Homo-oligomer: A and B are copies of this chain.
Amino acid sequence: MTVGKMQLAKRIDHIAIVVQDLDAALQVYRDVLGLPLERVEEVPAEKVKVAFLPLPEGDGEVELVQPTTHDTGIARYLAERGEGMHHICFEVGDIQAAMADLAAAGLQVLEEEPRLGSQGQKYVFIHPKTAHGVLIELYERPK
């Protein structure tokens, strides 16, 4: 097995925190911790509202995610486990190659094909049961 030689995860793209109420959470993450709020975006495909807070130094961002309905995985996660860290997203170079490597190594990718974001980015999630309890998102930057 040679997958260990590859640097599949390049950088931390973001940490997603699921919250009940975006405005209340911004009072901590923007107003107290001082993270700059870049934008708030409705993502109808995911039924969430997301606040993007890029760190002022280094790179990577905090995303505060508020479910807008009750019938999604993230809404059920919030109802069952409460607010808190939801997933970590690593950027990869080639998401299709990454998916093949992960599957070969026995990790469960939740999508058969990458999902396509509003900016042309591609992303998939790895089941936390196969990643030591962590929901991992892999993300490929738009070309």
Q: Check: A42 CB closer than 8 A to any chain B CB.
A: no
Q: How far is the CA of A105 from the CA of B30 in the complex (A)?
A: 12
A17-B134 contact, Cβ under 8 Å, with A31-B3, A32-B8: yes
Q: Check: A116 CB closer than 8 A to any chain B CB.
A: no
Contact of A28 among B31, B35, B131 (CB under 8 A): B131
Contact of A10 among B10, B18, B55 (CB under 8 A): B55
Q: How far is the CA of A55 from the CA of B7 in the complex (A)?
A: 9
User: What are 19 contact pairs spanning A and B, CB under 8 A?
Assistant: A3-B32, A6-B34, A7-B34, A7-B56, A8-B32, A8-B34, A10-B57, A10-B58, A11-B57, A15-B15, A15-B88, A19-B133, A24-B132, A28-B130, A29-B132, A33-B136, A58-B58, A82-B133, A84-B128
Neighbouring B residues of A48 by C-beta, 8 Å:
none
